[in-house]
Structure 1
């Protein structure tokens, strides 16, 4: 009986420890995948922040509101981060916003690197455009 109780207790503690840590927008982890768009007449910026655990946040600069969106599965989030790393943003220098612009940003501890496009006379790599479209498809 004691063995069963001990085993059940250990199993419960193990399962409890497996749950991913949940974050708030005010307290985000060091590693983030950030993307969004902005500009237009009002100059509004919509920013999305994906975390490795699948949590997805949205902020709007006009309303100053932040909301947590439906999360991605941990498997989907891992795939996104893997593809994101393959883009090698830190090795790319592309900052050509237009009146309406789009961006991808890598946040890793204190390092940040951002790629911005939208100007009609400067086209970004298809890899950036494809990845951006894929990320927008995750927003529900």
Structure 2
């Protein structure tokens, strides 16, 4: 849907977008006012990073390093979204955990709302990272369909 909107805008056909298409495009991570979870990995020789973004309204996106586009991956069920936000905020304590130990290949979990941003980054081989983070990362990544998962 987003590709269609971009193509239509490039062709000067932006006024033909339906209300549902416009509404869908308006809910993007870069303009969303609600809470967001950002989970991803990257590094290595190329420094390529893939980030998956879950909005608290259930929408899931993927963004690749140096890519200006957020690719919609569908909407998650409300109960699942609530569990992930509760786990990040109450189990992982994302707002108070200070851990930034990237390596050649790193993973990260982040939380964001407006100007508030918290992030925990660790090397794939790191054994000192708080145990809740690798568990959270693995559970989150299990939610991403294999057909669209990168890294």
Task: Name the TM-score class by shorter chain.
Answer: 0.7 to 0.9
Instruction: Work out the CA distance in 2 between the residues paired with 1:62 and 1:107.
Output: 20
Q: Deviations over 1:12-62 (max 9, x none)?
A: xxxxxxxxx851244222311111001011100101110111100100115
Structure 2 CA distance for partners of 1:101 and 1:121, relative to 1, 3 Å: closer
The alpha carbon displacement at 1:79 in A equals: 1.2
* Among 125, 144, 149, the residue aligned to 1:139: 144
Larger radius of gyration: 1
Structure 2 CA distance for partners of 1:65 and 1:41, relative to 1, 3 Å: farther
Structure 2 CA distance for partners of 1:43 and 1:71, relative to 1, 3 Å: same
The alpha carbon displacement at 1:127 in A equals: 0.8
Structure 2 CA distance for partners of 1:120 and 1:76, relative to 1, 3 Å: closer
Structure 1 moving runs of 4+ over 2 Å: 24-27, 62-66, 119-123
Instruction: Work out the CA distance in 2 between the residues paired with 1:27 and 1:121.
Output: 33
Structure 2 unpaired stretches of 5+: 1-22, 146-151
Contact 2:89 2:95 in 1 (8 A): no
Aligned to 2:54: 50
Structure-2-length-normalised TM-score: 0.72
Instruction: Work out the CA distance in 2 between the residues paired with 1:130 and 1:50.
Output: 17
Structure 1 unpaired stretches of 5+: 1-20
